[in-house]
Amino acid sequence: MGIAGKVIAITGASSGIGRAAARLLAERGALVVLGARREDRLAAIVDDITAAGGKAMYRATDVRRREDLEALVEQAVRWGGRLDVIINNAGIGPISRFDALRVDDWDAMIDINLRGTLYGIAAALPVFQRQGSGHVVNVVSTAGLKILPTMGVYAATKNAVRTLTEALRQESGPGLRVSEVSPGIVSTDFGDSITDPGVREAMGRRVAGVAIPPEAVARAIAFAIEQPDDVEVGSLVVRPTAQD
C-alpha cells in the first residue's frame, strides 16, 4: 500500500495534469520518469523535484512514436529496477465543429489521444507480465460523458480510451490494476492546441469561469495508485462543482 518507492512513468508530463502528478507523486516518495515532447520543460520540472528532495528523471517522448514509449519504459526499468505504474496522460484537444473540416486536427487527436495511449499500454504490459504486477492509469475526460458541439472528435478519442480501459481491466489478472481518471474543466494549456479562433476564445471564457487546478486531478490519480495491491479503483470523475 502507498506510493513511496514506486517507479512511475508519466506521459504528457511537461505541463498541466502530468506535471502536477509528477510533483505530487515525487513528493510522496515515488521515483517518477517523465515523458513529453518539450524537453526544456521536462528538465526544469526534474530540477524542481530533485531540489525538493524527490527522485525524478525524464526522456523526450512523442507518444505518436511507439519506440519512444518503449524507450521511456525501458529507462524507468533501468533506473528503478521495475515499473509499477504507467500514467497515459498525453493528450491534445484542437476541438472544432465538424463542418470546419479541420481533418488534420482530427488525425492529431487520434494519433496522440488514442494511439498514444495504446502505445503506452503496449510498452508497459510486457514489463508488468514479467513482474506479475503493474498498474495502468489512463487519463480520459468528462467530454466523453456529456457530448457537446465542437467536442465530437475529441470526445470520440476519449471514449475510445474509456472503452479499451474497461476491456483491459476485464482481460487483466489479479496482478494488473487498471484505472481511468476523467477530468472536467481544468486550468491547463488545453486551449493552446485549438486552431479554430472562435472556439479557442469561447473555451478560454469557459475555462476562466469554472476551472479547477490540475493538482485536484493529480490527487485523484494518487488516490488510485496508493490503494492496497488487491484494491482497484476503476473509474474516477474529477470536475468543478460549477461544471454542467
Collapsing DSSP states into helix, strand and coil, what is residue 24? helix
Helices 16-27 and 214-226 meet at what angle, rounded to 10?
50
For residue 57, the cross-strand partners are: 33
d(CA 142, CA 36): 23
Q: What is the pLDDT of residue 1?
A: 62
What digits encode the pLDDT tens for the residues 122-141?
999 999 999 999 999 999 99
Contact between 142 and 243 (Cβ < 8 Å): yes
Q: What is the pLDDT of residue 27?
A: 98
Helices H / strands E in the chain, number of each:
8, 7
Q: What is the pLDDT of residue 236?
A: 97
Question: Per-block average pLDDT, block size 10, for the chain (244 residues)?
Answer: 94 97 98 97 98 98 98 97 98 95 97 98 98 97 92 97 98 95 90 83 81 96 96 96 86
Q: What is the pLDDT of residue 189?
A: 80
What digits encode the pLDDT tens for the residues 71-115?
999 999 999 999 999 999 999 999 999 999 999 999 999 999 999
d(CA 95, CA 154): 6
Selection from 159, 123, 48 nearest residue 13 by Cα: 48
Q: In the chain, which residue ranges form alpha helices assigned H by DSSP? A: 16-27, 39-51, 66-80, 103-109, 116-131, 152-171, 197-210, 214-226
Q: What is the pLDDT of residue 192?
A: 80
Q: What is the pLDDT of residue 224?
A: 98
For residue 36, the cross-strand partners are: 60
Catalytic residues: 154
Q: In 29-102, which residue ranges form alpha helices assigned H by DSSP? A: 39-51, 66-80
d(CA 236, CA 215): 15
Q: What is the pLDDT of residue 9?
A: 98
DSSP letters of 91-106?
Answer: -------GGG--HHHH
Q: What is the pTM of this model?
A: 0.95
Specify the amino acid at residue 85: V
CA pseudo-torsion sign 45, 48, 52, 55: positive
Q: Quick one: fold of 7-236?
A: Rossmann fold (3.40.50)
d(CA 191, CA 139): 17
